[in-house]
Amino acid sequence: MSFGKTLYATENPELFAKFTPLIEEYNKAREEQIKNYDPEFYAKCKDTVAPAEQLDSEPINALQYLEKLLTPSELVIVNEYSIKDLLDKQLDKKLTAVEIINAYIKAAIISQFSTNCGMQFLIPEALSKAKKLDEYLAEHGKLIGPFHGIPVSLKEQMNYAGKQTSASYVAYLKNIPKESGVTIQILDKLGANFHIRTAQPQAIMWLDTGNVITGRTRNPVSTRLSPGGSSGGESACVGSHGSCIGVGSDIGGSIRAPAAFANIFGLKPTTRRFSLMNGLSGGKGQESIVAVQGPLARSIEEMEYFTENYLNEGKPWEYDPLCVPIAWNTKVELPKKIRIGVLFDDNLVTPYPAVTRGMESVVEKLSKAGEDFEIVDLSKYWYSEKEMEEIYTMNIGLYTCDGNKVQLGMFGESGEPLEKLTRHFLNFDGGVERSVYENRMFNAKRDSLKVEMFNKFFKGLKLDFILSPTYCGPSEKQENSLYWGYTSFWNLLDYPNVIFPSGVVHDDKIDTIDKLAGPLKSNKYEAMVWKKDGKVIYDPKDYIGGPVALQLTAERFHDEDAVACVKKITKVLGIERR
């Protein structure tokens, strides 16, 4: 990643040159750690995994490399055993925490070669903890907690005591926090074993993942595509079985787009349920749209298990005064007939044909599932194109309402080159600084929308949930995730969402331009996604291998209901653990 012909205000090649040795040292340390873990395995990975140029240009499924590089017993651990399986097998003395973490360290190294998912490995620490966990089990005859020996990956922006934590800002490569984030502390206490910290994009505000320090991250199911962002390192790692479960964050779609692009499960909880304390970001002090942390998982059951135990056993509100003291409801009772409002199109940006096909496929299967589901088409109730344009413009403007002062200050410290999607984000709402009055009026509008969603849709239409696309396309091309509206709308309103695979994958022979549900709209966001120089640029061959995942939304603080409903939906669809 290098400087363009026209420098952004904060870009400074001379200043940045002083940081390049730090970047080189950082990457060398990561490479040496995975090489020193097992030099023979490292060499085998290097010889087996396709070179970067091929991975970037071809739709390669990274999962194929597991069978080529792991032993049969390791393959069973990372491919077949769920969290509960791993816990049971440790209790039954059929597996040790050391055996589990070694299998996942190898899988994460394979993922690093194929997807470039990692910022930093924690191999010595993970091996040491696994040994201590095995000793604890041998001495006490019980597990230390609900995550005993479970390999968990972490988005790198979460502070980790004693480890470089940059959140992909070059200027923060020297930042070594003394205290880990609250979520890390809780998971550590409950027995989780951290072996890798994963990549996020520059600015942490892309629906893609790439940064100046470690480069671009790839999609695990089709490597030339984007893994989503900003938790794209997590989706790449979890999606390629490099970890059992991962923790990401979301302020505009950063858990949901990655989960969707990698064809796995993701939860964006209602705000203040997970702790954000002790993390690094460029959104300091911004409370109009509050970020959340949440899991990315390979099954809805594991996502439920993780969240239930994080909340009910971890009790984050005892560590973080900003967390709401609401335990996970383990006794959810769904209605006998679940009433789901279906939004095929948000009336601002038209979904790609594969997404519409995915929505139609799921709706058809739910409609035929006996008396369990009632479908309500929301097209005649939803906001108009003009209303959605106003809402989305306000939505993205709230991210940059300080005129990007915090972000630009962090970039200015290193003079690092700014990438295409960083510039795209900085130009939200023109990047203008809004007055306190304007910000307050935006907040008032936001709150009125929250109430309207509750009164008009959930109560007025008697909806239990809303089903919608996660993104306007299947897994997106790299550096092309421009429109956030299908996810950021729900950040604005602070309603929880669960992402799940639809079972549909983009097909370049089927999902052609003539399959559009209707004519393209006239607004600027539609043009941004669909056109260049006034001409439609959609090419179905660009999205080969890209899965379609959908988004189920519940009322605020009804996160458990959404998870329970997705469990029921995936049974109807026949969606199994990824």
The Cα 491–Cα 496 span in angstroms is 8
62 in Cβ contact with 107 (< 8 Å): no
Residues ≥6 apart with Cβ < 8 Å to 55: 49, 114, 218, 223, 224
Active-site residue, selected from the candidate residues 222, 254, 299, 414: 254
Token pair of 113, please? Answer: 């070669």
Token pair of 1, please? Answer: 């990643």
Which neighbouring-strand residues pair with 245? 152, 297
Query: Residue 391: what residue type?
Result: I
Token pair of 392, please? Answer: 């989305």
Active-site residue, selected from the candidate residues 114, 166, 180, 230: 230
Binding residues, as ranges, are: 204, 230, 251-254
Q: Is residue 155 flagged as an active site residue?
A: yes
Binding residues for substrate, as ranges, are: 204, 230, 251-254
Active-site residue, selected from the candidate residues 155, 268, 521, 567: 155
The Cα 229–Cα 242 span in angstroms is 17
Q: Is residue 230 flagged as an active site residue?
A: yes
Q: Is residue 475 flagged as an active site residue?
A: no
* Residue/partner pairs of 27-30 with CB below 8 Å, 24 or more apart: 27/213, 27/214, 30/118, 30/119, 30/120, 30/121, 30/214
Q: Are strands 210-211 and 215-216 parallel, antiparallel or unpaired?
A: antiparallel
User: What one-character-per-residue DSSP string does 397-441 give?
Assistant: HTTSTBTTHHHHHHHHTTTPPPPHHHHHHHTGGGGPBPPHHHHHH
120 in Cβ contact with 156 (< 8 Å): yes
Active-site positions read 155, 230, 254
